[in-house]
């Protein structure tokens, strides 16, 4: 996992925690509306320019993952610029990772690894660090962590609720 690094909490804990808090709020909103509990925000400088939860179910758009939705909102506002940082509650899937690279994102900060929430939350076995190695432009992945387990609990509850409905 050459491209993944752990956040140095001595450097900017309050900023990263605040921005991840925006992602968690968006994930909780998505969960309340029956959508997958993932949240993301686009940060430029010190400002959150867009935030979104997953909108795939509500909008009947399978590509409306939280990361893609946040990037779309940032672009629509005219505030998306190369060098942005994308914060997200979950390790990004292939589509979200590539969308971020195309948008010029320089860093993705995520709270939970796929191993934290299980493969049922993902559609492929590709992990973000391996995919980032294949990109033609650098994209740094930073593991933030989920110290209170809020995100893992949201995803686990969502997946178990959906499994019960499928049976």
Question: Which tens digit of pLDDT belongs to each residue from 35-92?
Answer: 999 999 999 998 999 999 999 988 789 999 999 999 999 999 999 999 999 999 999 9
Nearest to 35 by CA among 51, 54, 63, 61: 54
Structure confidence by residue, pLDDT tens digits, 87-113: 999 999 888 998 999 999 999 999 988
**Given the residues 28, 55, 57, 67, the one annotated as active site:** 67
- The pLDDT score that the predictor gives to residue 161 is 81
Angle, helices 150-166 vs 13-32, to 10°: value is 20
In the chain, what is the straight-line distance between the N-terminal and C-terminal CA atoms, in Å? 37
pTM equals 0.85
From CA 160, how far away is CA 1, in angstroms rounded?
30
How many H-runs (helices) and E-runs (strands) does the chain carry?
A: 6, 6
From CA 43, how far away is CA 160, in angstroms rounded?
32
User: Looking at the chain, how many residues does it have?
Assistant: 167
67 is catalytic: yes
Q: Which residues contact 57 (CB under 8 A, 6 or more apart)?
A: 33, 34, 35, 36
């Amino acid at each position: 996992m050459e491209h993944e690094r752990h956040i140095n909490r001595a450097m900017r804990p309050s900023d990263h925690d605040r921005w991840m808090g925006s992602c968690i709020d968006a994930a909780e909103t998505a969960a309340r509306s029956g959508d997958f509990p993932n949240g993301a925000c686009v940060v430029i400088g010190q400002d959150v320019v867009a935030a979104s939860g997953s909108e795939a179910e509500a909008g009947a758009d399978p590509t409306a993952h939280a990361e893609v939705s946040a990037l779309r909102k940032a672009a629509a506002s005219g505030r998306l610029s190369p060098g942005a940082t994308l914060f997200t509650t979950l390790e990004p899937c292939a589509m979200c990772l590539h969308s971020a690279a195309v948008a010029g994102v320089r860093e993705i900060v995520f709270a939970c690894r796929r191993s934290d929430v299980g493969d049922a939350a993902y559609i492929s076995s590709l992990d973000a660090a391996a995919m980032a190695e294949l990109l033609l432009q650098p994209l740094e992945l930073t593991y933030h962590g989920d110290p209170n387990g809020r995100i893992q609990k949201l995803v686990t509850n969502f997946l178990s609720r959906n499994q019960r409905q499928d049976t």
